[in-house]
Amino acid sequence: MKSSLWYVGTLLFCVAILASGCRTGGDEMGESLIIEELDGDHALMERFEDGVRVTDVSFDPVGFRYDSYQIDGAEVGKLNRVADYLRGEGGVNLVVEGHCDERGSREYNMSLGEHRALAVRAYLIGLGVDSARIQTRSYGEEKPIDMGHNDAAWTRNRRGEFALYR
Amino acid sequence: MHSELNSQWRGVVAMVVLGLGLAACVHAADVEIVKAGSIKTALSLKGLRADAQAPSKTFMQVLTSDLERSGWFEITDGGASVDVSGFCQASGDRLTGQCRVVNTITGKTLLSGPLRGTVAEPRQLAHRTADAIVKAVKGVPGIASTQIVMVGARVGRQDLYLCDADGARLRRATRDGAVCLSPSWGKGVSEILYTSFHNGYPDAYRIDLAGGRRTRLAAYPGLNSGAVLSPDGRRIAVTLSKDGNPDLYVKDLRSGVVSRVTRTPYAAEASPSWSPDGRQLVFVSDRSGRPQLYVQALHGKTAKRLTYEGNENAAPDWGADGRIVYSSRRGGVYEICMYDPVARRHSQLTDGGADWEDPSWAPDSRHIACTRTAGYRSHLYILDVMGDPPLRLSSSEGDWYSPDWSSQ
């Protein structure tokens, strides 16, 4: 009940963002869309066995602003595509992997990466994906995809990735 | 900030010089030399003889270096207020001798005893001797026999490494073949707690160094990170996300009961460190929008914010004497800072030029191990809160970070 209301609210918000012609790019992304209370309804279930990694489909990582776990309006389309896929593939489970850029404390970045992964998870649950199918895993700043030390590299490295298992 | 610290010590120097005229013979520590920042007691090792064999020579070299590294002494040949005499000799597999420490002003013997070691481990005998001298002369614990655990990243893989307080005897402690983070000492120097992806997820483990055994301490769904053992050795503080958000928890290791410490639905917590009495935690939280330090009692409902200066503050370590060190982002770089709860004052210990992070107190409440990163390479450094210049510890290839100094 609560989540369906939230879902409608989110859709309205998406429409509002699209209507306002929100622009994104680089380090400064669009207005943030979701500040989700990550608690109560979203407790993590027992870890599922990862199973076999699904390799025939992949999704673009979701980007984040510096020191933020909030999902940006411009990133919502990526999440919708993941939710659509999961709703159609009942046998596939998802591990959302949260990552940070190299700046700041490694240990804090572990928590921030987890916070990002949980924000993605909560959003997907809001779109109707069963919470038992989504786990989270933070890598903090330990697994950069871009080894550079500049704004462009940092922007690429602040991300939530989708690891699918069947 | 750094100059504040210096001027504070200049005040002490002036007092000591004054004290010389009035009461020159009260105490050996009154005859002091100021060099490289901190006040030092002049100590002579001239009366300590070693035979010509290699272990005895190593013993002398390491003892000299340990006494200098302790920060308390200036090694001199003449005019010393503390004389160390005796001998050290190798016979068979034994390294033996005698050591006597005398206050030359009062004539009082501060320490006298046999040296008992092995030719295989001359360094350890020197470390124990240096610590006994520091304790006898200054009344504080020495650090020469202590160890440091850290993460080493070499040729694309991460492992935990150990070294002695002087950087010697670097050795690898893990071969997980997975990302590892946040090592901290458990009981004594026989256990290490750390975060490992050994099983695919970030879980909290304890390794028993003697037996080489690994035990899982927390492996709940989601994050299990930065576990640290309580001063009484019965509990760990750890960051978990099992209830849907990264928060701090305390787990009783015997009963397995987990209790929640923070409850911040919109924020992430990290990096807990125990108060010396085990009743409070200092930690990082981004509840204000940026990572800052907070202190909370284990059974308290509210946290008190500790840091306001610097747009990020992280990696706190609560020392045995109550002072808290942490890294603080100021003017675009991270600096090591210290909070004194008695004076209610924050001071900055480093002076830019690089990023200084992840401080960890030595048991002497004087030295701090930390990471210095410049040109994207990280090395281990030792800082002295009494003003001696920073000392680089790691010399090997690779990146060295997240040090934790053993408490004994």
Nearest to B171 by CA among B156, B182, B160: B160
**pLDDT beneath 50, residues of chain A:** 1-36
* C-alpha atoms less than 13 angstroms from C-alpha of A17 in its C-beta half-sphere: 22
- pLDDT tens sequence across B310-351: 999 999 999 999 999 999 999 899 999 999 999 999 999 999
More confident residue, B19 or B323: B323
Please write the tens of the pLDDT for every residue from B227-280.
999 999 999 999 999 999 999 999 999 999 999 999 998 999 999 999 999 999
Q: What is the mean pLDDT of chain B?
A: 90
Residues in chain B closer than 8 A to A45 (CB atoms): 221
The pLDDT tens digits of the residues spanning A36-62 come to 455 555 788 888 877 899 999 999 999
C-alpha triplet B356, B358, B359: angle, nearest 5°: 90
Q: What would the pLDDT profile of B128-144 be if each residue is shown by its tens digit?
A: 999 999 999 999 999 99
Distance, CA of B358 to CA of B401 (rounded, Å): 8
**Minimal CA–CA distance to A143: which of B379, B178, B205, B334?**
B178
Query: CB count, 10 Å around CB of B197?
Result: 19
B183 neighbourhood in chain A, CB within 8 Å? none
Domains observed in chain B: 2-138 (3.40.50.10070), 147-405 (2.120.10.30)
Picking from A40, A44, A122, the nearest residue to B242 by CB comes out as A44
Contacts of B241 in chain A (CB under 8 A): 44, 114, 118, 136
Q: Which of B195, B200, B271 sits opposite A108 (nearest CB)?
A: B271
pLDDT of B14 > 70? The answer is no
- Tell me, what DSSP letter sits at residue A88? H
pTM, 2 dp: 0.86
Chain B contact set for A106 (CB, 8 A): 181-182, 358, 401-402
**Whole-number percent of chain B with pLDDT over 70:** 91
Domains and CATH numbers, chain A: 2-165 (3.30.1330.60)
Contacts of B315 in chain A (CB under 8 A): 105, 107-108
Has residue B150 got a pLDDT over 80?
Answer: yes
Q: Which residues of B touch A (CB under 8 A)?
A: 158, 179, 181-182, 195, 197, 200-202, 220-223, 225-226, 239, 241-246, 263, 265-266, 268-271, 284, 286, 289-291, 312, 314-315, 327, 329, 357-358, 376, 401-402
What pLDDT is recorded for position B36?
55
Return the number of CB contacts < 8 Å for A and B: 132
Report pLDDT digits (tens) over B343-399.
Answer: 999 999 999 899 999 999 999 999 999 999 999 999 999 999 999 999 999 878 899
Our CA-based measurement puts residue B363 at a distance from the nearest CA of chain A, in whole angstroms, of 23
Q: Tell me the shortest Cα–Cα distance from A104 to chain B, in angstroms.
A: 8
Query: What is residue B281's predicted lDDT score, i.e. its pLDDT?
Result: 98
